[in-house]
Amino acid sequence: MGIVRRQGLRNTFISYVGLGIGFVNTTLVLPRLLAPAQLGLVSVLLSLATMGALVSALGFTNTTMRYFPYFRNREAGHSGYLVLLLALPLAMFGVVASGLWLGRPLVLRWYAHDAGLLGPHYPMMLALALCILVYNLLESYTKSLFHTSFSSFLTDVVQRLLIMGAALLYGMGYLSFDGFVLAYLGSCATISVLLLSYLAAIGELHLRPTRAVLRVRPIGELVRYGGFALLGNISGTLLVTIDSLMLGAHSFADAGIYTIALSISTALAVPFRALYKTAHPLIAEYWKDGATDKMLDFYQRTTRLTTALGSYLALGIGLNLPFIYALIHKPAYAAGTVAVLLLLAGRLTDGITGVNGIIVVTSPRYRYDLVFNLGLTAAIIMLNNLLIPRFGLTGAAISNALALIIFNLGRTWFVWHSFGWQPFDRRIAYILALAAGAAFVAWVLPVPTNIWLTLLVRGGVLTVLYGAGLLVTGLVPEVSQLARKVGLSARK
């Protein structure tokens, strides 16, 4: 757990700095300066680009996490793996981009009600897809080298600051809306160039082709694994993009409101993402070394930790939603309140079930993950088709939450059934009960009418009761250890 704790804590710190910037973007900048329909357009462009980048990647981001330990040899330039990682997906991007361009009339027909907004920005979507593809490939390579902090800094801090700056320039009249969209594309290009420069600075930018890469593992094996991973990734990506795509077909304004709701709920995923960035290559190493005892211990400890953090964040956000929406000063966006609560429920389940997805996708039985992912994809599309026409953005949130809950419970069962591992014990139930009790007290207490004082009262009560409960009971040893370290540092 040593490297995971160091990298995880560093990533968590960076992520929460980024969360603060994202909160400012979400509540004080973007919704104040952009109309819901404009935000909806950006969301649809980003979703289309993300799907294009995903298909182009051929699953090689997962392939890297799974197979890079076999190529790892810095003196030999990792046998030229980086060249292979970039070459095949970039070649595939040419095919995907051509298909997207030829399919432009069909896409515009799907968004006929707002085709006037989408049409002029369609080429931007293709360029955005290329930037996302390159960045994702480089990030997977960097993560496999156990250098996870810089990529976190780029996405969570640098890119958000760039987007904020572009929005402010738009609000002050220095940029048109078209200029803002172009600047959004520029933020993605910038972080890709910076990550490439970082790899060069640490001496890991090995771009010389070599035949050695063909001898480490059969290329066919890598491509087959990537194909399975691609199908699995599609469902995971659909979970965060299909809502915007399908809501956009219903109304760009609804898609914009939903984008803000999704952004608010994203705070809950911050500690999970920070942990998983380091956990993925570590679990791959465990499988390679046959260290199943270490893997089970890691599975159980990380699940307790993500349950404790996730419960606190979910309840903290839910208790203070009136404060968050009051900061936006646009009543139209408050229509996403119920959507936020539903999305929080789904994301909390995702955190509580731990690292089951990483265990499956890096295991010898990785193919079975495809079944769950295809089922998730079908469920998302079916539920959205059923619920969005009836309930609009709330229907999209219901679909998202239900899909996440069913998917993660099924995959947790699979890990238990296949390997005999499950991360739950009575401490998980105690943590949830403790969190619920603290939140109930914070909710029923009389609060002042001032929204800032309400935030302080509810947030303070939840933090004190829940934090004290965790320390007294020792339910999460990592929390107690961190508190002791902080206490010793304070005495010094």
> Token pair 């949130």 is at which residue?
397
- Residue 5: pLDDT band by 50, 70, 90 thresholds? low
Return the HEC string of 282-312: HHHHHHHHCCHHHHHHHHHHHHHHHHHHHHH
Query: What CA–CA distance (Å, rounded) separates 277 from 147?
Result: 10
Measured CA distances, 424 to 216, 230, 292, 368, 472 (Å): 38, 30, 17, 22, 21
Q: What is the pLDDT of residue 295?
A: 86
Q: Do 308 and 205 share a domain, yes or no?
A: yes
For residues 312-327, average pLDDT: 89
Separation in Å, CA 247 to CA 129, 244, 250, 333: 20, 5, 5, 15
> What average pLDDT does range 266-292 have in this prediction?
79
What was the pLDDT predicted at 49?
92
Query: Do residues 416 and 433 both lie within one domain?
Result: no
According to the model, what pLDDT value does residue 1 have?
47
Q: Which of 424, 456, 484 is the last residue of a domain?
A: 424
Find which of 147-151, 224-228, 425-429 is predicted with most confidence, using mean pLDDT: 425-429
Angle ∠(59,65,68) on CA atoms, nearest 5: 110
What is the model's pLDDT at position 170?
A: 92
% of the chain exceeding 70 in pLDDT: 90
Residue 76 or residue 188, greater confidence: 188
Q: How many domains does the chain have?
A: 2
Q: 62 or 260, which is more confident? A: 260
* Cα–Cα distance for residue pair 410/419, rounded to 1 Å: 14
**309 and 443 co-located in one domain:** no
> Which of the four pLDDT bands, split at 50, 70 and 90, describes residue 339?
very high
Taking 90 as the threshold, does the pLDDT of residue 75 lie above it?
A: no
Q: Which of 364, 397, 424 is the last residue of a domain?
A: 424
Neighbour count for residue 94 (Cβ, 10 Å): 11
**Which range among 273-277, 278-282, 427-431 shows the weakest confidence by mean pLDDT?**
273-277
Query: For residue 483, what are the domain limits?
Result: 429-492
Based on the fold, state whether residues 158 and 181 are members of the same structural domain.
Answer: yes
Q: Is 231 helix (H, G, I), strand (E, B) or coil?
A: helix
Cβ atoms < 10 Å from Cβ of 290: 9
State whether the Cα torsion 53-56-61-66 is positive or negative.
Answer: positive
Residues 435 and 416 in one domain: no
Mean pLDDT of the chain: 84
Mean pLDDT on 262-290: 79
Please tell me which residue, 110 or 133, carries the higher pLDDT value. Answer: 133
Supply the pLDDT for residue 195.
92
Looking at the structure, do residues 364 and 459 belong to the same domain, yes or no? no
Per-residue pLDDT tens over the stretch 402-452: 988 888 888 889 989 888 888 888 888 999 999 999 999 999 988 788 888
User: Among candidates 321, 299, 283, which has minimal Cα distance to 454?
Assistant: 321
pLDDT higher than 50, residue 315: yes
**Per-residue pLDDT band at 97 (split at 50, 70, 90):** very high
Do 389 and 435 share a structural domain?
A: no
418 and 290 housed in the same domain: yes
pLDDT band at 95 (very low <50, low <70, confident <90, very high): very high
- Per DSSP, 449 falls in state S
**327 and 460 inside one domain:** no
Distance CA 32, CA 24 (A): 11
pLDDT grade for 490, boundaries at 50, 70 and 90: very low
**Cα–Cα dist 302/345, whole Å:** 19
| Residue 124 binned pLDDT confidence (cut-offs 50, 70, 90) | very high
pLDDT greater at residue 185 or residue 207? 185
Which of 391, 424, 457 is the last residue before a domain boundary?
424
Same domain membership, residue 467 and residue 334: no
Claim to verify: residue 290 and residue 344 sit in the same structural domain? yes
Q: Which two tokens stand for residue 43?
A: 């969301």
Is the same domain home to 385 and 473? Answer: no
> For position 488, what pLDDT does the model report?
45
